[in-house]
A and B are shown apart, each in its own frame.
Chain A
Amino acid sequence: MKYASRIYLCLIFGILYIPIVTLILFSFNATDSTSVFGGFSLMWYKELFASPDTFIALRNTLILAVCSSLLATVIGTAAAEGIYRMKSKLFKRALTSVTNIPMMNPDIVTGMSMMLFFVALVGILGIEYENFGFTAMLIAHTTFSLPYVILNVLPRVEDFGKSLSEAAMDLGCTPLQSFFKVELPNLMPGVLSGLMMAFTLSLDDFVISYFVGSSSFQTLPLLIYSMTKKKVTPDMYALSTLIVVTIFVLLIVSNVRNGKKNRKGGAKK
């Protein structure tokens, strides 16, 4: 049984990884073929780094991810506090349902709706959509990240209930002090994982950015999309390889860090 399960898992994981491995392999190809390996070379990486588009897109992606995830985390954490303490159950339910719409809706619908909204907004404000690129993306990314932040923070808020803030106020904290001195430090794990999630979602998003974005603000996924529209060349492979490797390193680092923390926690008990 144990053997069979291991073979099964290896098989499926194998299939999952073949495309990624070939992609990495052919990014080092010496020819522009993506099917015949003609020798090892770094030429596609050189070509990639020679293009200013890559750097602009990378910079844009990072700026957008940092800004939108921070904004979503601040709004979402405050919202989780507020939602937990809302007395009207009806309003609470309505608000969480609305918040979750971008999470439940297909990206394409969210993208379409935001695009139409921005077109209308730009019309009302009388500005060019081109000049609105970053703001539109920031709003869109913050909006679809918000439910994930709340999803991460709200359970922790509920876990502590009102007991910690009551204890803090009992001992002399004003409500504001109680939040920053007691609640926030204890919510931190949830806040951080919400932030992480918002950050990765923003990095990864293609569909909504595709609808909302304008040519003035190119991100990496949009760049990849435009690359794959043209004839296949391995410079896109090179870019993808770099992204995959980055994610892989981040995953290992966060896993090792978590593992250490768990072991420390375990030893205490």
Chain B
Amino acid sequence: MAKLIELKGISKSFDGERVLNSINLYIRDGEFVTLLGPSGCGKTTMLRIIGGFETADEGELLFDGAPIRDVPAYKRPVNTVFQKYALFPHLNVYENIAFPLRLQKVAEESIKQRVTEMLRMVALVGFENKDVSTLSGGQQQRVAIARALISHPKVLLLDEPLGALDLKLRKDMQNELKNIQKAVGITFIYVTHDQEEALSMSDTIVVMAEGEIQQIGTPTDIYNEPKNAFVADFIGESNIVDGIMLADKSVRMSGHTFECLDGGFGKNEPVDVVVRPEDVDVVAPEKGMLTGTVTSVTFKGVHYEIIVDIGGFKWMIQSTDYVAPEQHIGLYIEPDAIHIMKKSKFSGMFGDYSSFSDEIDTLSDADAAEEF
């Protein structure tokens, strides 16, 4: 697939604060790309630069090989589904969707046909004459998608489009969006702070933090082979422990030497070791590679979430078997469950569950949702 959009050394500051720092990225034709990151990481700014709502301070933006940095939004073959939809309140559903075609002075016959086609695609047939303010969030969302797609853009930008919907609807819309993308076959660039959404929809995920790209890869790559502590922590739950690489395929952490599958590090190089909570088995203390005391157990439906204190470091373990708090248990980790990462500026900031609580998690989610 050809490179459709290319960002070369793109930087952007607001009021002296650097929001994007020398971003290099290319996006292929027909891809579903997700820009994923916490609030303030610069993902929305990047989308707005591609859409033409902001101009980069430095760097180049290529579209099909041609520079478009200074091309205004209305001349770009790129359309956007905005976070709060931005439907035009003075127009009804039909006219909202027909809006881009009317600008292009398309013949009435053809407009009618294309709008009907779009309405069918987003399952809103029969809503033509409704006032947009009377629609539910999900319906407004569909109108926004139809309106953005009707003029056959080469790229659709979606800025946290599901943020305002409730959980159930969000899941349905995820599938629907993916289906729409397959049906129209164009590039979707999707911005979200929700890692689950990113993992389930994308061909490629671009993880961002602090105005920089942390990792680019397929969902499985990103989950299984995170490049640094930030990515490991942001995508799913992770225990991130300080370790020392003794030799290829041998790492020492928490006072025990583990066999692993990674290599290529220097001898005795300090590293970050990632172990996913679902990859740890609970065994009897004498059979465990590590032993510790259970400090809390929370029932989560599918599994129990167990916090274990191992020499002062708190691990999170997900297990379908119940263990009691205060119980002394052993942990067993398979070699392929251990992932080694080079030290980065994020080392030591994540992956310890000492201060972990669900409440803090929800709070930070709410913060992220406010960003736009």
Contact = CB atoms under 8 A, between A and B. Distances in A.
Interface of A: 163-164, 166-174, 177-178, 181-182, 185-186, 188, 268-269
A163 B73 contact: no
A135 to B, nearest CB: 37
Given A171-B103, A171-B151, A164 B86 contact: yes
B372 to A, nearest CB: 9
Interface stretch (B77-85, B183-191, B297-305, B341-349): B77-85
A119 B134 CA distance: 57
A177 B103 contact: yes
Contacts of A186: 88-90
Contacts of A169: 52, 72-74
Given A186-B89, A269-B134, A170 B51 contact: yes
Contact of A173 (B52, B89, B90, B103): B103
Interface of B: 51-53, 72-74, 78-80, 82, 84, 86-90, 99-100, 103-104, 131, 133-134, 147-148, 151
A172 B74 contact: yes
A268 to B, nearest CB: 5
Given A166-B53, A177-B103, A268-B131, A172 B86 contact: no
Contacts of B87: 167
Most chain B CB atoms below 10 A, which of A167, A177, A186: A167
A172 B103 contact: yes
Contact of B82 (A166, A178, A269): A166
Contact of A163 (B86, B90, B134): B86
25 contacts: A163-B82, A163-B86, A166-B86, A167-B86, A167-B87, A169-B52, A169-B72, A169-B73, A170-B52, A170-B53, A170-B79, A171-B74, A171-B99, A172-B100, A172-B103, A172-B104, A177-B103, A181-B103, A182-B88, A182-B90, A185-B88, A186-B89, A268-B133, A268-B134, A269-B134
A140 to B, nearest CB: 35
A171 B79 contact: yes
A171 B147 contact: yes
A170 B80 contact: yes
A200 B100 CA distance: 40
A166 B86 CA distance: 9
Nearest to A184: B90
Nearest to A178: B74
A117 B24 CA distance: 60
B103 A163 contact: no
